[in-house]
Amino acid sequence: MERGSSAEKDGVVVTVLDPKFKYEIATEPGGENIKYCFQCGTCTSGCPVAELDGKYNPRRIIRMAILGMRERVLSSDFIWLCSTCYTCYERCPQDVRITEVMNALKNMAVRAGYVHPAFRAQAELIAAHGRLYEVDEFTNEKRAELGLPTLPSGSPEVAEIYGMTGLASLLSGKGA
């Protein structure tokens, strides 16, 4: 059980838990089914990441989210460790759609200011080049040598989409 920063003595402070957190997750795309979870642990038992490192444990993360441990869940690195392999999603007897719940949590974390640096870098590269990797002159020369069609080096439409959805300002820290 989480302890609040304002805890007096060593008592468990229930008030820092946010009972509305689970409802919020359920309104997020992908998070709709979170409340179906009955903690059977099928997700964790089949998870290739949890098998190697206990710091990622989908059953536990979902339990924490349902309990309302908002800050602990959104600010932790563990939500970014989902390899999105969908094994848990396929096997979950309650159709919680855990892979999507993790995505919903990551989206909420970003809005709360906790974007993982690797994912921030990827999102910024796509805004700048329309792809994860810039198609530079060297690449196009190599492509042409192999008889492959050359590609444009950027996509103004992608940058426009970033502006439209608010992701550009989220990444620049100006808020959506």
Footprint on this chain of other proteins (rule: CB under 8 A): 28-30, 48-49, 52-53, 77, 80-87, 89-90, 99, 103-104, 106-107, 110, 115-116, 118-123, 126, 130-135, 139, 142-143, 146, 148-149, 151-152, 155, 157-158, 160-162, 164-167, 170
Smallest gap from residue 65 Cβ to other proteins (A): 16
Q: DSSP secondary-structure letter at 150? A: P
Q: Which is nearer to other proteins, 2 or 94 (CB)?
A: 94
**Count of CB atoms situated within 10 Å of the CB of 30:** 18
Q: DSSP secondary-structure letter at 28? A: S
Smallest gap from residue 105 Cβ to other proteins (A): 9
List the end-to-end C-alpha distance of the chain, in Å, as a whole number.
Answer: 33
**Coil, strand or helix at 83:** coil
Smallest gap from residue 52 Cβ to other proteins (A): 5
Enter the tokens of residue 100.
Answer: 């999507």
